[in-house]
Structure 1
Amino acid sequence: MISVTLLGAGNVATHLFKAFNASKKTTVNQWFNRNINAIHQYKNQVKITDNLNTLEKADVYIIAVSDNAISKISSSLPFNDRLVVHTSGSVNIHDLDKKHKRGVFYPLQSFSKTAKLNFKDVPICIETIDKKDYSILKEIATDLGSPVKKVNSDQRRILHLAAVFVNNFTNQLYRVAHEITESEAAEFDLLKPLILETAKKVQDISPYMAQTGPAKRNDTKTIKKHLALLNKNQHKAIYKLLTQSIQDTHGGKKL
C-alpha cells in the first residue's frame, strides 16, 4: 500500500480523500487541516490533526490548499527529503520548499464538495523534479482510475488557463442564460440538451468546426434583435464581445 497524507480540507482534498478511501493500493493515513472542525466528521475514518508537528511518515504528502498558502505550508513541514506535491494548476513546482522531493499532482477537473465525481473522468497531470518520483505519483493516479499525463509547469499553467475558459467562463455564461430566460419566465431546463450536445460535439470534432449560430453566418438581423432583447448593458457587452470573437475567427464582418 502507498501511504498518503492530505493537507487541506477544500473541494480537491475532500474528493481525493473519498477516492483514496475507496481505492485498493492507496491509503490515507493522516489528514491535516489548520481548522480541525472542517475534517472532524472523518475522524472515525482517518487520523486527523491540526498540528503539523504531529504528522507521521508517509510515502506522499499532498498539499491541497489555496494557491497562496502552498509555499508556506511546504516550508512549515517539519521534515526533509520526503515527497511533497501540490494539486494546483497554476503554482510552479519550484514554489515548494527545496528541502523536499517535489512534485505536482494536478487533477484537471472542476470540484464541488456536494457533487459526485468519478476519477475515471479526471485526468491527473503529473510533474516531478526527480524522475524517480514520477512512478509513485503515476501509480496513485492509476489506482484512482484516472488518465495520467506527464506535463511541465508551462504546459500545466496553459491547461489551467484554458480550463478557466471552458469551465468557469462557460458556467458564467450558463448563469447569464439562466437570468435571461427567467426574465420572461422561460424554462432554462429546455436548454440543457443543447448544453450536453455542444459538449458532446467537441469530443469528436474541433471547436472551430463545431461553431454554429448567427455570428458565424453573419446574420446581422438576428444579432441586432438579440441585442435589443438584452436589458443589461453587461449582457450586451458580453454578447458583442463573443460575437466579434466568432466573426474574427470565421471571417465575418465586424459589428
Structure 2
Amino acid sequence: MYQELSTRKPITLTTLAKMKRNREKFTVLTAYDASFAALFEAAGVEVILVGDSLGMVVQGQSTTVPVTMDDMIYHTRLVARGCQTALLMADMPFASYATVEQGVRNAARLMQEGGAQMVKLEGGGALAETVRQLSRNGIPVCAHLGLLPQSVHKLGGYKVQGREEAAAQQIIDEALVLQEAGADVALVECIPAELAARLTEVLEIPLIGIGAGPQCDAQVLVCYDMLNITRGRRPKFSKNFL
C-alpha cells in the first residue's frame, strides 16, 4: 500500500511558510511505522512527526526520557518508507543535544540514517546557539516550547505552562530568540489558548500547537491518543476519532 505513488506535490518548508502567510491551517500527526505513515499521508496530513512519544505508546515507558537515538533513527527510517509527500519531522531524544556539537552530530544522524527532513528540539532560548549551528549546517529545526515532556522530572509533572503573565512573556521572548537563531517552525504544548494566539500573530514562522487552543497555524496529535488506543487516560485535549 505504501509503495503507491501520491499525486500530491511534496510538502516543504516553503509550503508551510506559504500556508501561514495565506492563513491556511495544516495538520501534523505522529507515526512510528511505514503503514501508519502511508495511511496518514493518504488522508492528506501535511507533516508526519516521529515523536519520542513512541517511548510511552509503543515501548510502554512511563515517560519519553528512556528513548535513545538508535530508537529514533530506527522508527524514523520505518516512517520514511511510508512517506512520499508529507514532510517528515523527527524528535531529538532526551540529552541528545546537551552540547552544540552533540546536537549537530545527532541531528545529522536522524537525517542521514533515518531520512528525517526536520528535527525537533525541546527547550527555550538556551538552545539558540544549537539552533543556529543546525541551521548553518542545513538542518531544518522545529523549536518545542511550553510543556517539555523530556523535562517532566524537572517540572514535577505534566502541567500547563505560561499561565502567569511573566511566564507567558518568557515563552514569547524565547520563541522570538529561537526564530532569530534560525528555527523554521515552532511547536507549543499545553499553554493557554490566548498565549498561543498571541504567538501565532507574533511569529513569522509557522506555529504548531498541541493542547494550546485552536488559533495555531497547525495542530498535532499523538496518533495513539487520536485513535483511543493509548494505555491509561487520554489527554483532555485529544478527541477520540474512532
Regarding TM over 0.5, the answer is no
Higher helix share: 1
Flag the structure with larger Rg: 1
TM-score (structure 1 length as normaliser): 0.30
Greater relative contact order (Cα < 8 A, sep 6+): 2
Given the two structures, how large is their TM-score scaled by the length of structure 2? 0.31
